[in-house]
Structure 1
Amino acid sequence: MSTPVQAPAGPQPADSAGRRAIWLSVAALAMTFMLPLAGLVMAGFALMAGVRALPVLKDAGRSTGMAVGGIVVSSVALALSAMATALQLYLMDEYSAYQECMKGAGTVSSQGECFAQFREAAQRKLPADVLQLLGAVQP
């Protein structure tokens, strides 16, 4: 009969704690640009991983640069994804109308008309400075 192998009890290894924080934060930033809501969730996990990595790295006498970098990048991703998600929720009706219009658009010119209608609807709902920031005013 063999003795079962047990995982070491105690905190996570210090070497992987900082790397985990930075990789999760980079993944959260990438997800923010693809799926803002998923980026929001992943940025929350990355932020927690970075915060949890700090004491582990300090106790092991290692540099906390990776954990701090992960916290900074995940905070940026969290802010960007929160703004993008809020904007998507705010313009949900206009975007739904745009999708319906695009379903029936069979030509490039009719697709352009759908985008023009979406842009006009967004311009009515958003302030001009936000639209310039987003680049929606320029064709």
Structure 2
Amino acid sequence: MQPPAVTSESELGRRALLLSIGALALTFVVPMFGLALGVFSAVVCFRTWRSLSGKQRPVVLAVVGMLLSLVSLCLAAAVLWVQMYFDTPLTAYNECMKGAGTSTSQQGCVVELERAVESRLPFMPKGSVKLPFPP
């Protein structure tokens, strides 16, 4: 049996920063997993920060990692909220596109999606939502 590996203080900060960068990258790919990894990396960065500050070591990497973790948490939470808020219009759009065989009917599906988004956003005037490209 091997003894546990000993890591240096600089390695701890570097690992915390890399974990935070991974959480931010994963947020752009799969927001739900980015949110989970963001929480984990925030905890790791906080523990690393406390450990390094107690030993009077530089905490720059742990602090930058904590900031990146918080950015990934906010971004992932915002994306998940938008996905959940607009779930009904997007589901209706997907169902409409399944039956749309022509470009005219596909454009009709996009118009329906725009109207559904307008109805979910009460502060938008009628006819103001124009999608630059179909989803």
TM-score range, shorter chain: 0.7 to 0.9
Tell me the equivalent position of 2:124: 128
- Tell me if structure 2 keeps the 8 A contact 1:20–1:49: no
How many residue pairs get aligned? The number is 129
Tell me the equivalent position of 1:23: 18
Structure 1 unaligned residues grouped into runs of 5+: none
Q: 1:122 to 1:76 in 2, by over 3 A?
A: same
Counterpart Cα distance in 1 of 2:103 and 2:19: 40
Match of 1:6 among 3, 19, 29: 3
Percent identity between the two aligned chains = 34
The two structures, once aligned, show a CA RMSD in angstroms of 2.4
Q: Which one is further off, 19-28 or 72-81?
A: 19-28
Counterpart Cα distance in 1 of 2:11 and 2:103: 51
Q: 1:110 to 1:20 in 2, by over 3 A?
A: farther
State whether structure 2 residue 96 is matched by structure 1 residue 101: yes
Structure 2 unaligned residues grouped into runs of 5+: none
Deviation at 1:110, TM superposition (A): 3.4
Question: Equivalent residues in 2 for 1:20-99 (5 A)?
Answer: 20-99=15-94
- Summarize deviations over 1:60-116 as a string: whole Å, max 9, x none: 443211110111111111111111111111111111111212222334443333222
Counterpart Cα distance in 1 of 2:27 and 2:110: 23
Counterpart Cα distance in 1 of 2:19 and 2:108: 40
Q: 1:54 to 1:32 in 2, by over 3 A?
A: same
Q: TM-score, normalised by structure 1?
A: 0.77
Q: TM-score, normalised by structure 2?
A: 0.79
